Structure 1
Amino acid sequence: MGGEAEVDGLQFDPRMSRQVEAMYTTADVVEQRRIVRAALALRSGDRVLDVGVGPGLLAAEMATEIGPSGRICGIDISDSMLAIAATRADVGPGIELEVASVERIPHPAESFDVVVSTQVFEYLDDVGGALDEVRRVLRPAGRVVLLDTDWGSLVWRSSDDARMARVLTAFEDHLADPHLPRTLADVLVKSGFTLTHLQVVPILNTGYDDRTYSAGLMDIVTGFVPGHADITADEARAWADDLRGLGAGYFFSLNRYLFVASAL
Protein backbone atom coordinates (compact mmCIF):
# COMPACT_ATOMS: atom_id res chain seq x y z
CA MET A 1 0.00 0.00 0.00
CA GLY A 2 2.99 2.29 0.15
CA GLY A 3 1.98 3.86 3.46
CA GLU A 4 -1.54 4.92 2.54
CA ALA A 5 -4.97 3.49 1.82
CA GLU A 6 -7.96 5.13 0.18
CA VAL A 7 -11.62 4.64 1.06
CA ASP A 8 -13.97 6.25 -1.47
CA GLY A 9 -11.51 9.11 -1.99
CA LEU A 10 -10.62 9.62 1.71
CA GLN A 11 -6.90 8.85 1.92
CA PHE A 12 -5.70 7.28 5.17
CA ASP A 13 -2.12 8.41 4.64
CA PRO A 14 0.25 9.32 7.54
CA ARG A 15 -1.21 12.84 7.87
CA MET A 16 -4.82 11.65 7.91
CA SER A 17 -3.95 8.84 10.31
CA ARG A 18 -2.47 11.33 12.77
CA GLN A 19 -5.62 13.47 12.47
CA VAL A 20 -7.77 10.45 13.25
CA GLU A 21 -5.59 9.55 16.23
CA ALA A 22 -5.98 13.07 17.61
CA MET A 23 -9.77 12.86 17.25
CA TYR A 24 -9.81 9.48 18.97
CA THR A 25 -8.00 10.85 22.03
CA THR A 26 -10.69 13.49 22.66
CA ALA A 27 -13.04 13.08 25.60
CA ASP A 28 -15.89 12.42 23.14
CA VAL A 29 -14.28 9.29 21.73
CA VAL A 30 -12.79 8.17 25.05
CA GLU A 31 -16.39 7.99 26.30
CA GLN A 32 -17.43 6.19 23.12
CA ARG A 33 -14.79 3.51 23.75
CA ARG A 34 -16.02 3.12 27.32
CA ILE A 35 -19.51 2.39 26.00
CA VAL A 36 -18.17 -0.05 23.41
CA ARG A 37 -16.11 -1.90 26.03
CA ALA A 38 -19.13 -2.18 28.30
CA ALA A 39 -21.08 -3.74 25.41
CA LEU A 40 -18.21 -6.10 24.62
CA ALA A 41 -18.22 -7.46 28.20
CA LEU A 42 -14.86 -9.12 27.61
CA ARG A 43 -13.67 -11.96 29.78
CA SER A 44 -10.20 -13.22 30.61
CA GLY A 45 -8.94 -15.42 27.79
CA ASP A 46 -11.26 -14.04 25.08
CA ARG A 47 -10.04 -14.09 21.48
CA VAL A 48 -10.97 -10.77 19.85
CA LEU A 49 -10.78 -9.51 16.27
CA ASP A 50 -10.72 -5.70 15.93
CA VAL A 51 -11.79 -4.86 12.36
CA GLY A 52 -10.44 -1.44 11.38
CA VAL A 53 -8.13 -1.25 14.37
CA GLY A 54 -7.12 2.30 13.43
CA PRO A 55 -4.69 3.92 15.89
CA GLY A 56 -5.06 0.98 18.28
CA LEU A 57 -6.61 2.76 21.25
CA LEU A 58 -9.50 0.32 21.65
CA ALA A 59 -7.22 -2.68 21.08
CA ALA A 60 -4.87 -1.52 23.83
CA GLU A 61 -7.76 -1.03 26.25
CA MET A 62 -9.24 -4.43 25.41
CA ALA A 63 -5.86 -6.08 25.96
CA THR A 64 -5.90 -5.06 29.60
CA GLU A 65 -9.28 -6.81 30.02
CA ILE A 66 -8.58 -10.19 28.39
CA GLY A 67 -5.41 -10.95 30.34
CA PRO A 68 -2.32 -12.89 29.24
CA SER A 69 -4.36 -15.89 28.12
CA GLY A 70 -6.37 -13.79 25.64
CA ARG A 71 -5.62 -12.72 22.10
CA ILE A 72 -6.38 -9.57 20.12
CA CYS A 73 -5.93 -9.42 16.35
CA GLY A 74 -6.25 -6.01 14.75
CA ILE A 75 -6.69 -5.61 11.01
CA ASP A 76 -6.77 -2.45 8.93
CA ILE A 77 -6.35 -1.53 5.28
CA SER A 78 -4.02 1.36 6.14
CA ASP A 79 -0.30 0.83 6.77
CA SER A 80 -0.21 4.27 8.39
CA MET A 81 -2.90 3.37 10.90
CA LEU A 82 -1.18 0.10 11.71
CA ALA A 83 2.11 1.91 12.29
CA ILE A 84 0.41 4.08 14.92
CA ALA A 85 -1.36 1.06 16.44
CA ALA A 86 2.00 -0.73 16.68
CA THR A 87 3.20 1.92 19.14
CA ARG A 88 0.47 0.69 21.49
CA ALA A 89 0.74 -3.02 20.81
CA ASP A 90 3.15 -3.57 23.69
CA VAL A 91 0.87 -2.13 26.37
CA GLY A 92 -1.09 -5.34 26.70
CA PRO A 93 -0.54 -9.02 26.02
CA GLY A 94 -1.39 -10.80 22.81
CA ILE A 95 -1.97 -7.94 20.33
CA GLU A 96 -1.32 -8.88 16.68
CA LEU A 97 -1.61 -6.41 13.79
CA GLU A 98 -1.83 -7.01 10.04
CA VAL A 99 -2.98 -5.39 6.80
CA ALA A 100 -6.33 -6.92 5.82
CA SER A 101 -9.96 -6.03 5.15
CA VAL A 102 -13.16 -7.44 6.58
CA GLU A 103 -14.13 -8.73 3.14
CA ARG A 104 -11.32 -11.27 3.41
CA ILE A 105 -10.28 -11.94 7.00
CA PRO A 106 -6.99 -13.88 7.05
CA HIS A 107 -7.97 -16.28 9.84
CA PRO A 108 -9.53 -19.77 9.94
CA ALA A 109 -13.16 -20.48 10.79
CA GLU A 110 -14.18 -20.14 14.44
CA SER A 111 -10.97 -18.31 15.41
CA PHE A 112 -12.60 -15.67 17.64
CA ASP A 113 -15.02 -15.27 20.52
CA VAL A 114 -15.72 -11.62 19.69
CA VAL A 115 -15.48 -9.38 16.62
CA VAL A 116 -15.65 -5.61 17.11
CA SER A 117 -15.71 -2.88 14.48
CA THR A 118 -16.23 0.85 14.91
CA GLN A 119 -16.81 3.23 12.01
CA VAL A 120 -15.98 0.69 9.28
CA PHE A 121 -19.13 -0.90 7.89
CA GLU A 122 -20.53 2.38 6.55
CA TYR A 123 -17.58 2.35 4.12
CA LEU A 124 -18.43 -1.10 2.70
CA ASP A 125 -20.28 -1.74 -0.54
CA ASP A 126 -21.23 -5.29 0.53
CA VAL A 127 -22.21 -5.24 4.21
CA GLY A 128 -23.91 -8.64 4.01
CA GLY A 129 -20.82 -10.25 2.50
CA ALA A 130 -18.63 -8.74 5.22
CA LEU A 131 -20.97 -10.05 7.91
CA ASP A 132 -20.79 -13.51 6.35
CA GLU A 133 -17.01 -13.33 6.72
CA VAL A 134 -17.36 -12.14 10.33
CA ARG A 135 -19.71 -15.03 11.07
CA ARG A 136 -17.22 -17.47 9.52
CA VAL A 137 -14.42 -16.51 11.91
CA LEU A 138 -16.67 -16.42 15.00
CA ARG A 139 -17.15 -19.47 17.17
CA PRO A 140 -20.74 -20.70 17.62
CA ALA A 141 -22.57 -18.23 19.88
CA GLY A 142 -19.75 -15.74 19.43
CA ARG A 143 -20.74 -12.10 19.34
CA VAL A 144 -20.17 -9.12 17.08
CA VAL A 145 -20.21 -5.49 18.23
CA LEU A 146 -20.61 -2.83 15.53
CA LEU A 147 -20.68 0.95 15.88
CA ASP A 148 -21.60 3.13 12.89
CA THR A 149 -22.96 6.62 12.26
CA ASP A 150 -26.17 7.77 10.65
CA TRP A 151 -24.98 11.04 9.12
CA GLY A 152 -28.59 12.09 8.71
CA SER A 153 -28.60 12.66 12.48
CA LEU A 154 -26.00 15.44 12.20
CA VAL A 155 -26.97 18.87 13.57
CA TRP A 156 -24.22 21.44 13.00
CA ARG A 157 -24.87 25.14 13.47
CA SER A 158 -23.73 27.49 10.70
CA SER A 159 -24.40 31.08 9.70
CA ASP A 160 -24.94 29.83 6.14
CA ASP A 161 -27.29 26.84 6.14
CA ALA A 162 -27.24 26.44 2.36
CA ARG A 163 -23.45 26.17 2.31
CA MET A 164 -23.53 23.78 5.25
CA ALA A 165 -25.95 21.52 3.37
CA ARG A 166 -23.71 21.51 0.30
CA VAL A 167 -20.57 20.76 2.33
CA LEU A 168 -22.22 17.87 4.19
CA THR A 169 -23.60 16.43 0.94
CA ALA A 170 -20.10 16.60 -0.52
CA PHE A 171 -18.62 14.89 2.55
CA GLU A 172 -21.03 11.97 2.22
CA ASP A 173 -19.20 11.06 -0.99
CA HIS A 174 -16.55 9.33 1.12
CA LEU A 175 -19.09 6.78 2.43
CA ALA A 176 -20.74 3.78 0.81
CA ASP A 177 -23.83 4.22 3.03
CA PRO A 178 -24.08 7.36 5.18
CA HIS A 179 -27.30 5.99 6.74
CA LEU A 180 -26.23 2.39 7.43
CA PRO A 181 -27.67 2.07 10.97
CA ARG A 182 -31.21 2.32 9.55
CA THR A 183 -30.81 -1.07 7.82
CA LEU A 184 -28.02 -2.75 9.77
CA ALA A 185 -30.28 -4.71 12.14
CA ASP A 186 -32.07 -6.32 9.17
CA VAL A 187 -28.79 -7.21 7.48
CA LEU A 188 -27.45 -8.75 10.70
CA VAL A 189 -30.51 -11.00 11.00
CA LYS A 190 -30.32 -12.02 7.34
CA SER A 191 -26.64 -12.89 7.85
CA GLY A 192 -27.44 -15.35 10.64
CA PHE A 193 -27.07 -13.18 13.74
CA THR A 194 -29.48 -12.56 16.60
CA LEU A 195 -29.57 -8.93 17.69
CA THR A 196 -29.16 -8.72 21.48
CA HIS A 197 -28.58 -5.02 22.13
CA LEU A 198 -29.05 -1.71 20.31
CA GLN A 199 -27.97 1.64 21.73
CA VAL A 200 -27.54 5.22 20.55
CA VAL A 201 -24.14 6.77 21.28
CA PRO A 202 -24.40 10.56 20.88
CA ILE A 203 -21.61 13.09 20.47
CA LEU A 204 -22.49 16.62 21.61
CA ASN A 205 -20.12 19.60 21.41
CA THR A 206 -21.32 23.04 22.50
CA GLY A 207 -19.02 26.06 22.47
CA TYR A 208 -16.08 25.78 20.09
CA ASP A 209 -13.10 23.83 21.48
CA ASP A 210 -10.15 22.48 19.50
CA ARG A 211 -10.06 19.42 21.77
CA THR A 212 -13.33 17.92 20.57
CA TYR A 213 -14.34 15.32 18.03
CA SER A 214 -16.14 17.84 15.83
CA ALA A 215 -13.14 20.19 15.67
CA GLY A 216 -11.05 17.33 14.32
CA LEU A 217 -13.83 16.31 11.96
CA MET A 218 -13.92 19.86 10.64
CA ASP A 219 -10.32 19.57 9.47
CA ILE A 220 -11.01 16.27 7.72
CA VAL A 221 -14.12 17.65 6.01
CA THR A 222 -12.21 20.75 4.88
CA GLY A 223 -9.52 18.58 3.31
CA PHE A 224 -11.93 16.22 1.58
CA VAL A 225 -14.79 18.24 0.11
CA PRO A 226 -13.04 20.44 -2.48
CA GLY A 227 -13.91 18.98 -5.87
CA HIS A 228 -17.04 17.26 -4.56
CA ALA A 229 -20.53 18.71 -5.17
CA ASP A 230 -18.85 21.75 -6.77
CA ILE A 231 -17.29 22.83 -3.47
CA THR A 232 -14.08 24.85 -3.89
CA ALA A 233 -11.15 24.93 -1.49
CA ASP A 234 -11.94 28.56 -0.66
CA GLU A 235 -15.53 27.64 0.17
CA ALA A 236 -14.39 24.79 2.40
CA ARG A 237 -12.04 27.09 4.32
CA ALA A 238 -14.75 29.76 4.65
CA TRP A 239 -17.14 27.10 5.97
CA ALA A 240 -14.68 26.02 8.66
CA ASP A 241 -13.74 29.60 9.59
CA ASP A 242 -17.42 30.42 10.03
CA LEU A 243 -17.93 27.52 12.45
CA ARG A 244 -14.86 28.37 14.52
CA GLY A 245 -16.02 31.98 14.65
CA LEU A 246 -19.24 30.99 16.39
CA GLY A 247 -17.29 30.65 19.63
CA ALA A 248 -19.64 30.10 22.57
CA GLY A 249 -22.54 29.73 20.12
CA TYR A 250 -21.01 26.71 18.41
CA PHE A 251 -23.24 23.60 18.32
CA PHE A 252 -22.60 20.08 17.01
CA SER A 253 -24.58 16.88 17.61
CA LEU A 254 -24.21 13.48 15.94
CA ASN A 255 -25.62 10.03 16.68
CA ARG A 256 -23.77 6.77 16.37
CA TYR A 257 -25.50 3.43 16.86
CA LEU A 258 -24.16 0.40 18.68
CA PHE A 259 -25.30 -3.07 17.61
CA VAL A 260 -24.51 -6.23 19.57
CA ALA A 261 -25.44 -9.56 17.98
CA SER A 262 -24.80 -13.23 18.59
CA ALA A 263 -23.86 -15.75 15.91
CA LEU A 264 -26.31 -18.61 15.59
Structure 2
Amino acid sequence: MTAMLEFDVEAARQVEAVYLTADVVQQRREVVRLLALAAGEAVLDIGSGPGLLATDLARAVGSTGRVCGIDVSDSMLALARGRAVLAGSAPVEYRHGGVDAVPYPDGSFDAAVSTQVLEYVADIRAALAEALRVLRPGGRMLVLDTDWSSIVWHSTDPERMRRILLTWEQHLADPFLPRTLGRQLRRAGFDVAPPQVLTLLNVGYEAATYSGQLIPIVARFVTGRDGWTAADVDGWVEDLQTLGPDSFFSLNRYVFCATKPQ
Protein backbone atom coordinates (compact mmCIF):
# COMPACT_ATOMS: atom_id res chain seq x y z
CA MET A 1 0.00 0.00 0.00
CA THR A 2 1.29 3.47 -0.88
CA ALA A 3 1.46 5.94 1.99
CA MET A 4 2.65 8.92 -0.08
CA LEU A 5 4.34 12.06 1.14
CA GLU A 6 2.10 14.75 2.60
CA PHE A 7 3.27 18.16 1.46
CA ASP A 8 2.35 20.28 4.46
CA VAL A 9 4.24 23.51 5.15
CA GLU A 10 7.23 21.76 6.75
CA ALA A 11 7.48 19.12 4.00
CA ALA A 12 7.15 21.78 1.30
CA ARG A 13 10.06 23.72 2.82
CA GLN A 14 12.15 20.52 2.99
CA VAL A 15 11.47 19.81 -0.67
CA GLU A 16 12.34 23.40 -1.57
CA ALA A 17 15.70 22.96 0.21
CA VAL A 18 16.40 19.85 -1.90
CA TYR A 19 15.52 21.74 -5.08
CA LEU A 20 17.94 24.54 -4.17
CA THR A 21 20.96 22.22 -4.00
CA ALA A 22 23.53 22.46 -6.79
CA ASP A 23 22.59 18.91 -7.87
CA VAL A 24 19.00 19.83 -8.65
CA VAL A 25 19.86 23.27 -10.01
CA GLN A 26 21.98 21.50 -12.63
CA GLN A 27 19.13 19.07 -13.30
CA ARG A 28 16.79 22.00 -14.00
CA ARG A 29 19.29 23.50 -16.42
CA GLU A 30 19.38 20.21 -18.32
CA VAL A 31 15.59 19.95 -18.37
CA VAL A 32 15.28 23.46 -19.84
CA ARG A 33 17.99 22.65 -22.41
CA LEU A 34 16.25 19.46 -23.51
CA LEU A 35 12.90 21.23 -23.89
CA ALA A 36 14.54 23.56 -26.45
CA LEU A 37 12.08 26.34 -25.72
CA ALA A 38 11.65 29.26 -28.08
CA ALA A 39 10.68 32.83 -27.24
CA GLY A 40 6.93 33.28 -27.05
CA GLU A 41 6.03 29.65 -26.33
CA ALA A 42 3.41 28.57 -23.80
CA VAL A 43 4.62 25.97 -21.27
CA LEU A 44 2.82 23.91 -18.63
CA ASP A 45 4.66 22.69 -15.51
CA ILE A 46 2.71 19.70 -14.21
CA GLY A 47 3.33 19.36 -10.49
CA SER A 48 5.14 22.68 -10.24
CA GLY A 49 6.08 22.33 -6.57
CA PRO A 50 7.85 25.41 -5.15
CA GLY A 51 8.03 27.07 -8.57
CA LEU A 52 11.76 26.93 -9.23
CA LEU A 53 11.47 25.17 -12.59
CA ALA A 54 8.55 27.36 -13.66
CA THR A 55 10.70 30.41 -12.97
CA ASP A 56 13.46 29.02 -15.19
CA LEU A 57 10.93 28.20 -17.91
CA ALA A 58 9.60 31.76 -17.77
CA ARG A 59 13.09 33.12 -18.34
CA ALA A 60 13.59 30.74 -21.29
CA VAL A 61 10.43 31.76 -23.17
CA GLY A 62 10.79 35.48 -22.43
CA SER A 63 8.27 38.21 -21.90
CA THR A 64 6.17 37.18 -24.91
CA GLY A 65 5.78 33.64 -23.60
CA ARG A 66 3.47 32.12 -21.01
CA VAL A 67 4.12 29.67 -18.17
CA CYS A 68 1.46 27.91 -16.13
CA GLY A 69 2.07 25.68 -13.14
CA ILE A 70 -0.35 23.28 -11.50
CA ASP A 71 -0.02 21.46 -8.19
CA VAL A 72 -2.32 19.71 -5.71
CA SER A 73 -0.47 21.04 -2.65
CA ASP A 74 -1.60 24.40 -1.28
CA SER A 75 1.71 24.69 0.60
CA MET A 76 3.68 24.25 -2.61
CA LEU A 77 1.47 26.73 -4.45
CA ALA A 78 2.03 29.30 -1.69
CA LEU A 79 5.80 28.94 -2.05
CA ALA A 80 5.59 29.19 -5.84
CA ARG A 81 3.35 32.26 -5.84
CA GLY A 82 5.79 34.02 -3.52
CA ARG A 83 8.76 33.44 -5.82
CA ALA A 84 10.05 36.43 -7.76
CA VAL A 85 10.22 36.28 -11.56
CA LEU A 86 13.15 38.03 -13.21
CA ALA A 87 12.60 41.03 -15.49
CA GLY A 88 12.15 39.98 -19.10
CA SER A 89 10.57 36.65 -18.13
CA ALA A 90 7.12 35.41 -19.06
CA PRO A 91 4.32 35.86 -16.56
CA VAL A 92 3.76 32.73 -14.44
CA GLU A 93 0.29 31.61 -13.38
CA TYR A 94 -0.26 28.91 -10.75
CA ARG A 95 -3.48 26.95 -10.35
CA HIS A 96 -4.57 24.15 -8.08
CA GLY A 97 -4.87 21.07 -10.28
CA GLY A 98 -4.00 17.41 -10.58
CA VAL A 99 -2.40 15.48 -13.39
CA ASP A 100 -5.70 13.72 -14.13
CA ALA A 101 -7.68 16.97 -14.49
CA VAL A 102 -5.52 19.74 -15.91
CA PRO A 103 -7.50 23.00 -15.63
CA TYR A 104 -6.77 24.26 -19.17
CA PRO A 105 -8.48 23.81 -22.56
CA ASP A 106 -7.36 21.45 -25.33
CA GLY A 107 -4.28 22.54 -27.27
CA SER A 108 -3.25 25.30 -24.84
CA PHE A 109 0.51 24.64 -24.72
CA ASP A 110 3.55 24.23 -26.94
CA ALA A 111 5.37 22.22 -24.27
CA ALA A 112 4.69 20.48 -20.99
CA VAL A 113 7.07 19.19 -18.35
CA SER A 114 6.64 16.85 -15.40
CA THR A 115 9.60 16.25 -13.08
CA GLN A 116 9.41 13.83 -10.16
CA VAL A 117 5.62 13.74 -10.33
CA LEU A 118 4.31 10.74 -12.26
CA GLU A 119 5.95 8.24 -9.90
CA TYR A 120 3.39 9.47 -7.35
CA VAL A 121 0.45 8.87 -9.70
CA ALA A 122 -1.59 5.68 -9.63
CA ASP A 123 -3.35 6.25 -12.97
CA ILE A 124 -0.56 7.04 -15.43
CA ARG A 125 -2.86 6.49 -18.41
CA ALA A 126 -5.18 9.29 -17.29
CA ALA A 127 -2.26 11.62 -16.54
CA LEU A 128 -0.65 11.13 -19.95
CA ALA A 129 -4.00 11.50 -21.70
CA GLU A 130 -4.45 14.89 -20.03
CA ALA A 131 -0.94 15.99 -21.00
CA LEU A 132 -1.60 14.97 -24.61
CA ARG A 133 -4.94 16.81 -24.59
CA VAL A 134 -3.56 20.19 -23.51
CA LEU A 135 -0.63 20.10 -25.96
CA ARG A 136 -0.93 21.53 -29.45
CA PRO A 137 -0.12 19.23 -32.40
CA GLY A 138 3.66 18.98 -32.51
CA GLY A 139 3.89 19.97 -28.85
CA ARG A 140 6.65 18.51 -26.69
CA MET A 141 6.39 16.64 -23.41
CA LEU A 142 9.33 16.05 -21.05
CA VAL A 143 8.99 13.61 -18.16
CA LEU A 144 11.69 13.05 -15.55
CA ASP A 145 11.34 10.35 -12.90
CA THR A 146 13.56 8.19 -10.68
CA ASP A 147 14.02 4.44 -10.57
CA TRP A 148 14.66 4.01 -6.86
CA SER A 149 16.30 0.61 -7.34
CA SER A 150 19.23 2.53 -8.87
CA ILE A 151 20.17 4.06 -5.52
CA VAL A 152 23.64 3.38 -4.11
CA TRP A 153 23.91 4.79 -0.58
CA HIS A 154 26.82 3.80 1.63
CA SER A 155 26.16 3.02 5.28
CA THR A 156 28.06 1.25 8.03
CA ASP A 157 24.91 -0.87 8.50
CA PRO A 158 23.89 -2.08 5.00
CA GLU A 159 20.99 -4.19 6.28
CA ARG A 160 19.44 -1.23 8.10
CA MET A 161 19.89 0.88 4.98
CA ARG A 162 18.21 -1.78 2.85
CA ARG A 163 15.19 -1.89 5.16
CA ILE A 164 14.97 1.91 5.47
CA LEU A 165 14.86 2.21 1.68
CA LEU A 166 12.18 -0.47 1.41
CA THR A 167 10.01 1.60 3.75
CA TRP A 168 10.88 4.78 1.83
CA GLU A 169 9.62 3.21 -1.41
CA GLN A 170 6.12 3.27 0.08
CA HIS A 171 5.94 7.02 -0.51
CA LEU A 172 5.45 6.40 -4.24
CA ALA A 173 2.79 4.80 -6.40
CA ASP A 174 5.54 3.32 -8.61
CA PRO A 175 9.16 3.62 -7.41
CA PHE A 176 10.34 1.96 -10.64
CA LEU A 177 8.25 3.95 -13.16
CA PRO A 178 11.00 4.67 -15.75
CA ARG A 179 11.11 0.96 -16.68
CA THR A 180 7.64 1.18 -18.23
CA LEU A 181 7.30 4.90 -18.97
CA GLY A 182 8.37 4.74 -22.62
CA ARG A 183 5.75 2.12 -23.40
CA GLN A 184 3.08 4.08 -21.55
CA LEU A 185 3.92 7.29 -23.40
CA ARG A 186 3.64 5.46 -26.75
CA ARG A 187 0.31 3.93 -25.74
CA ALA A 188 -0.95 7.40 -24.85
CA GLY A 189 -0.25 8.54 -28.42
CA PHE A 190 3.13 10.24 -28.12
CA ASP A 191 6.14 9.79 -30.37
CA VAL A 192 8.96 9.01 -27.95
CA ALA A 193 12.70 9.62 -28.27
CA PRO A 194 15.22 7.30 -26.57
CA PRO A 195 15.45 8.17 -22.87
CA GLN A 196 18.44 9.80 -21.25
CA VAL A 197 19.85 9.34 -17.74
CA LEU A 198 20.83 12.05 -15.27
CA THR A 199 22.88 10.78 -12.34
CA LEU A 200 22.97 12.50 -8.97
CA LEU A 201 26.35 11.74 -7.38
CA ASN A 202 27.51 12.95 -3.98
CA VAL A 203 30.87 11.82 -2.60
CA GLY A 204 31.72 13.05 0.90
CA TYR A 205 28.98 14.19 3.27
CA GLU A 206 27.73 17.75 2.89
CA ALA A 207 24.37 18.95 4.16
CA ALA A 208 23.83 21.22 1.14
CA THR A 209 23.70 18.36 -1.38
CA TYR A 210 20.81 16.34 -2.73
CA SER A 211 21.57 13.38 -0.47
CA GLY A 212 22.27 15.61 2.52
CA GLN A 213 18.85 17.24 2.17
CA LEU A 214 17.15 13.93 1.39
CA ILE A 215 18.15 12.43 4.76
CA PRO A 216 15.62 14.40 6.89
CA ILE A 217 12.86 13.83 4.35
CA VAL A 218 13.38 10.07 4.42
CA ALA A 219 13.67 10.15 8.22
CA ARG A 220 10.40 12.04 8.60
CA PHE A 221 8.57 9.63 6.34
CA VAL A 222 9.81 6.28 7.68
CA THR A 223 9.52 7.07 11.40
CA GLY A 224 6.54 5.17 12.77
CA ARG A 225 6.22 2.91 9.72
CA ASP A 226 7.23 -0.75 9.56
CA GLY A 227 8.23 -0.60 13.23
CA TRP A 228 10.83 2.16 12.78
CA THR A 229 11.12 4.12 16.03
CA ALA A 230 12.48 7.64 16.29
CA ALA A 231 15.59 6.23 17.99
CA ASP A 232 16.13 3.74 15.15
CA VAL A 233 15.87 6.46 12.53
CA ASP A 234 18.06 8.87 14.51
CA GLY A 235 20.76 6.18 14.48
CA TRP A 236 20.48 5.89 10.71
CA VAL A 237 20.71 9.67 10.31
CA GLU A 238 23.74 9.95 12.60
CA ASP A 239 25.53 7.18 10.72
CA LEU A 240 25.14 8.96 7.38
CA GLN A 241 25.99 12.39 8.71
CA THR A 242 29.22 11.24 10.37
CA LEU A 243 30.69 9.29 7.43
CA GLY A 244 32.56 12.38 6.26
CA PRO A 245 34.72 11.64 3.20
CA ASP A 246 33.50 8.03 3.17
CA SER A 247 29.96 9.11 2.32
CA PHE A 248 28.82 7.90 -1.11
CA PHE A 249 25.45 8.44 -2.79
CA SER A 250 24.33 7.85 -6.37
CA LEU A 251 20.86 7.86 -7.93
CA ASN A 252 19.63 7.69 -11.53
CA ARG A 253 16.86 9.86 -12.93
CA TYR A 254 15.53 9.16 -16.40
CA VAL A 255 14.36 11.77 -18.90
CA PHE A 256 11.80 10.95 -21.60
CA CYS A 257 11.19 13.47 -24.39
CA ALA A 258 8.00 12.90 -26.37
CA THR A 259 6.05 14.72 -29.07
CA LYS A 260 2.35 14.95 -29.85
CA PRO A 261 1.93 13.95 -33.53
CA GLN A 262 0.90 16.67 -35.99
Q: TM-score range by the shorter chain?
A: over 0.9
The reply to whether residue 30 of structure 1 matches residue 21 of structure 2 is no
Alignment of 1:91-110 (within 5 A): 91=86, 92-110=89-107
Contact map agreement 2:4 2:173 (CA 8 A) in 1: no
What is the number of equivalent residue pairs in this alignment?
Answer: 258
Equivalent residue for 2:180, pick from 173, 183, 188? 183
Q: Does the residue aligned with 2:195 lie in a helix, a strand or coil?
A: strand
Residue identity in the other structure for 1:44: A
For structure 2, the residue ranges without an aligned partner over 5 or more in a row are none
The Cα shift of 1:216 comes to 0.8
Q: Is the 8 A contact 1:197 1:261 kept in 2?
A: no
Give the equivalent residue in structure 2 for 1:133. Answer: 130
Shift of 1:165: 0.7
Please name the residue that 1:73 is paired with. Answer: 68
* In structure 1, distance between residues paired with 2:111 and 2:5: 28
Deviation digits for residues 2-28 of structure 1 (CA, Å, limit 9, x no counterpart): xxxxx9341101111111111111110
**In the alignment, structure 1 residue 236 sits paired with structure 2 residue 241:** no
* More moved, 100-109 vs 8-17: 8-17
Which 5+ residue runs of structure 1 have no aligned equivalent?
1-6
Q: Decide which of 75, 82, 91 is 2:77's aligned counterpart.
A: 82
Corresponding residue SS for 1:176 = coil
Distance apart, 1:89 and its partner CA: 5.0
Q: Does 1:210 align with 2:207?
A: yes
Deviation for aligned residue 1:228? 2.1
TM-score by length of 2: 0.96
Contact (CA 8 Å) 1:53, 1:59: kept in 2 or not? yes
Counterparts of 1:126 and 1:9, CA distance in 2: 14
* Whole-Å separation in 2 of the counterparts to 1:197 and 1:67: 29
Q: How far is 1:96 from its partner?
A: 0.2
Who is 1:154 aligned against?
151
Whether the aligned pair in 1 keeps the contact of 2:4 and 2:120 (CA below 8 Å) is: no
Q: Following the alignment from structure 1 to structure 2, what is the Cα–Cα distance between the partners of residues 237 and 75?
A: 35
SS of equivalent residue, structure 1 residue 10 = coil
RMSD of the alignment, in Å?
Answer: 1.1
1:56 pairs with 2:56: no
- For 1:134 and 1:197, locate their aligned partners in 2 and report how far apart those are by CA, in whole Å: 19
Distance 1:29 1:197 in 2: 22
The answer as to 2:254 corresponding to 1:257 is yes
Aligned counterparts of 1:10 and 1:258: Cα–Cα separation in 2: 22
Match status 1:46 vs 2:41: yes
TM-score scaled by length of structure 1: 0.95
Determine if the alignment matches structure 1 residue 122 to structure 2 residue 123: no
- 1:60-98 alpha-carbon deviations (Å, 9 max, x no partner): 111111112211000011111111111225433220001
